[in-house]
């Protein structure tokens, strides 16, 4: 099964200040600016094996980091930039329309850097349902508890994105319930598009502008999505994090995706479990409770840890950044710069380790 990664990292200068990724996005389709100035996105191509994905991801990051260093810049693997400094949005008509619909809440999205994982579509309905049930695994990569200089949740990015940014339009940015078919999923998308278009027109956007820039396929920002490109099932929940952490989680998620055709998948009860030839997904209400624990408490929640363990994750092997930097009520601008510099160095060390492992593996 092919899979790929899209990762967003903050770009900083030598003092830890957020800066534009100018000079890093000019020579590759796998590198892009994001919709806010200090964000940089790196994409891998679809890879058949996790080993191939590991090699490509490490090589691409190694190249980017070398170029960034030459420009006096670095990349930061944190879900939020931590402090409340000004972040400008790049001029974009889609963003302008979203801002009209979501109002001030749309500003929360400017402070979010995440990881998107794509899995090749096989049995899309079961893949969708499995990713919905496994969404609480986002806690394994929580990488910032801070938003605008204040401690808000163990997973600050996912918390503000879901609970604040899309507070008035929860079906556009929060987790959806299980489905019985792809047709049902597509019907939901049609409804979400109609809702968004109606809200946009009511806010003063002309209908032609909405329909020329949005469609049912791209009008929602929910944590789990079907994408026509590839085509894939996309999981958008985890924070930006260290590449070795991301690769570890992708490997465990991929193992689940690979086994779906060979197991009996059921939705029942509150607990969930993988055992033998069966995968039991808990009722959606229970999933939502686990998600809330993932956002608020992360791996400090024993109930969440038990759930992820039952669903096949090696919870003890994860050390989320968020837990390492937690413990403060507020973070000053200077402290935020220091943390960004610290984890930019940690990112470089992590990539160096991945590249050394690659050399050692090749003899």
The predicted-structure confidence for 263-313, as pLDDT tens digits, reads as follows 999 999 999 999 888 999 999 999 999 999 999 999 999 999 999 999 999
Structure tokens at 43: 């994409």
Query: With a threshold of 0.85, does the pTM exceed it?
Result: yes
Residues ≥6 apart with Cβ < 8 Å to 340: 10, 12, 16, 18, 76, 78, 81, 82
pLDDT score of 84 more than 70: no
Question: How large is the average pLDDT for residues 102-107?
Answer: 88
Q: What is the CB neighbour count within 10 angstroms for residue 75?
A: 25
CA distances to 49, 178, 341, 361 from 233, in Å: 17, 14, 34, 31
Strand partners, 233: 119, 226
pLDDT score of 323 more than 90: yes
Q: If you count DSSP H runs as helices and E runs as strands, how many of each does the chain have, helices first?
A: 12, 12
Per-residue pLDDT reduced to its tens digit, 111-140: 999 999 999 999 999 999 999 999 999 999
Calculate Rg over the CA atoms of the chain: 20
Structure tokens at 113: 């850097």
Topology of the domain comprising 3-356: Creatine Kinase; Chain A, domain 2 (3.30.590)
Residues ≥6 apart with Cβ < 8 Å to 52: none
Burial of residue 61 (CB within 10 Å: 0-12, 13-18, 19+) is: buried
Per-residue pLDDT reduced to its tens digit, 242-260: 999 999 999 999 999 999 9
**Cα distance from N-terminal residue to C-terminal residue, the chain:** 27
Distance of CA 208 to the CA centre of its chain: 31
pLDDT band at 82 (very low <50, low <70, confident <90, very high): very high
Q: Which of 259, 285, 286 is nearest to 274 (CA)?
A: 259
């Amino acid at each position: 099964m092919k899979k790929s990664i899209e990762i967003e990292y903050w770009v900083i200068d030598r003092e830890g200040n957020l800066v534009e990724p100018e000079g890093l996005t000019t020579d590759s389709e796998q590198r892009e600016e994001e919709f806010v100035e200090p964000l940089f996105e790196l994409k891998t191509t679809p890879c058949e094996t996790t080993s191939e994905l590991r090699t490509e991801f490490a090589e691409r990051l190694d190249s980017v980091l070398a170029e960034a260093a030459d420009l006096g810049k670095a990349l930061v693997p944190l879900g939020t930039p931590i402090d409340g400094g000004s972040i400008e949005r790049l001029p974009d008509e889609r963003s302008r329309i979203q801002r009209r619909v979501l109002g001030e809440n749309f500003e929360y999205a400017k402070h979010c850097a995440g990881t998107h994982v794509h899995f090749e579509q096989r049995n899309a309905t079961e893949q969708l349902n499995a990713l919905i049930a496994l969404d609480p695994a986002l806690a394994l990569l929580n990488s910032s508890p801070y938003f605008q200089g204040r401690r808000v949740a163990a997973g600050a990015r996912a918390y503000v994105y879901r609970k604040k940014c899309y507070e008035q339009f929860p079906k556009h940015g929060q987790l959806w319930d299980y489905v019985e078919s792809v047709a049902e999923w597509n019907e939901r998308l049609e409804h979400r598009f109609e809702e968004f278009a109606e809200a946009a027109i009511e806010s003063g956007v002309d209908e032609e502008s909405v329909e020329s820039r949005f469609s049912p396929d791209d009008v929602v920002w929910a944590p789990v999505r079907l994408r026509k490109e590839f085509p894939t099932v996309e999981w958008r929940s985890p924070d930006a994090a260290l590449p070795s952490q991301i690769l570890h989680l992708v490997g465990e998620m991929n193992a689940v995706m690979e086994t779906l055709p060979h197991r009996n998948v059921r939705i029942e009860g509150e607990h969930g479990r993988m055992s033998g030839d069966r995968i039991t997904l808990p009722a959606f209400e229970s999933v939502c409770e686990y998600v809330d624990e993932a956002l608020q408490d992360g791996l400090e929640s024993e109930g969440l840890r038990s759930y992820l363990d039952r669903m096949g994750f090696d919870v003890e092997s994860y050390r989320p950044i968020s837990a390492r930097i937690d413990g403060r009520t507020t973070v000053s601008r200077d402290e935020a710069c220091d943390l960004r510099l610290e984890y930019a160095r940690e990112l470089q060390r992590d990539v160096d380790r991945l590249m050394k492992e690659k050399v050692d593996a090749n003899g």
